[in-house]
Amino acid sequence: MASKNVIQLNELNFDAEVLSSKEPVLVDFTATWCAPCKMLSPIVDQYADETVGKVKVAKLDIDEARAISAKFGVQAVPTLMVFQGGQRTRQHTGVMRKDQLARFVSGED
């Protein structure tokens, strides 16, 4: 079950939730048919629960938001991106452990 601390993104709320956010935003570009995405999902959910008020965590289904996925050049899933001040600052494709995810988001990777 998805965490209540993870925002479900779509083409209507992406700009407001991600690009206009005052806090850093981790976006998990995912797909329902993607096995590695299913492995990463609980890790992202747990990270969201542990970083409430510090980092906004969101998921975007690439099949439901093709224009946004294309805009940011998502060619494989899962793809994780960190946005700060409306700009993409980091990107990673593939599964990672929670400790790796924390370092990735903080820029320590």
Catalytic residues: 34, 37
Q: Are 34 and 41 in contact (CB under 8 A)?
A: no
The two structure tokens encoding residue 51: 């970083």
What residue type is assigned to position 19 of the chain? L
DSSP E strand stretches across the chain = 6-9, 25-30, 56-61, 79-84, 87-93
Compute the distance between CA of residue 105 and CA of residue 25 in angstroms, rounded to an integer: 9
Cis peptide before 42 (omega within 30 of 0): no
Residue 67, CB-side half-sphere exposure with 13 Å CA sphere? 6
